[in-house]
Amino acid sequence: MYCGCYKTAWYKAWQGMTSIDKTAGDVNDQWLVDVTVGCEQAVRKLWGMTDDEWKDQGHSNNGNAYPDLGCVRREVYPWNEWEPDRLDELPALNLMMAEVAPKLEVRAVELPALTGSGENATVMQLGVFAKEDIAPGEVVLSETSMLTANNKLQDALCDACSADLPELDSSEADQVCECPECQAVFCSEACLSRADATYHRATCGNDLDTLLRDVPPAEAADSLYSLLLMRAIAMADVQECHPLDLNEVRLIWGDFHNLPITSAHFTAPSLTHENLTDSDRFDEGHGKLPRTLPWSFEHNIRLPIQMLEKMEIDHFAEPNYDLWVFNTLFAKFRGTASARLSGQAGSGRRARGPEVSAVHPMWCLANHSCDPNGGAGAVEGEG
């Protein structure tokens, strides 16, 4: 409820109230009542509905109008030991860059801060620069990532890199291969080998193929982010490491706020009947820290737990897969993942929303230019 997922919060509280054992006496769980009242008041305030309008279009008739996607804070949790100082990691970043873009290098750049906190405020960012001249049209960066996802169930896409598979009558069709255990299809033996070494053993035969596939266009982006999370979980499981320690995400910035969680910035919410009957006090419980990370019960709790269960990972016994880890990964994905439509260009089909997504850590550093300066470099778009 405090994250703004009012439809799920109301429904869960209603489920709790209707499941109370009436044979045990006249039981009225006031806490659950407070949740439903709080949700109703928040939605009324959101839509600006009067008492009469609410009576005419209350939850029973207008339940679909309850918002079910809220926001939480993007932050480096105090117990997060996997968030390195990226300025100290420049040597490691440049080793990674040299493998995929020999003519480029990563440097630290001092830029004006965009927070409005002061006229002369600056901030250190990472930027990608050319080490030597680059010819027009020259391919300067070629990076393959296993942290990919696609939300199409029947499209001909490589399970590993999500590249379009070649046509059956093409000369490249002979390179296509499949997993002998689950028939997952790969564009080449190289992709099959990389998949087996990085993630596929955690997903092979676990009935994950239909999860979040062929969703409505409005849900396409959220499904891709959740599928990226599923791939990250599988990669961490196979590689026996913490999800935040994967090479694909370890050095990615998640646009985290840098405010301390103190009483000056944060007011902890209190779930009391008095609190929830006053809309203004209800809003105060949200605190003063910025909330910019989309969050829902479905994509941040239910689906990740379902993924873990299908991979036979006990989420209660494995602290590596706690919910704060998923929040941190989503913050990184939503700031850096690239997306595209699947299928061949010029097919003439109508766009249905993003269908393929991937996280490329080196491409993240150069995904747009904030301050073009005649070819000297491009400041990263992720911050």
The pLDDT tens digits for 225-269 are: 999 999 999 999 999 999 999 999 999 988 887 777 665 555 555
Instruction: Evaluate if residue 198 carries a pLDDT over 60.
Output: yes
Higher pLDDT, 339 or 143: 143
Q: Which residue has the tokens 């109230």?
A: 17
pLDDT in tens, 308-337: 999 999 988 999 999 999 999 999 999 888
Strand 122-130, strand 104-112: pairing = antiparallel
Higher pLDDT, 82 or 21: 82
Instruction: Evaluate if residue 105 carries a pLDDT over 50.
Output: yes
Measuring CA to CA, which residue among 261, 312, 308 is closest to residue 287?
261
Least confident window among 71-75, 169-173, 349-353: 349-353
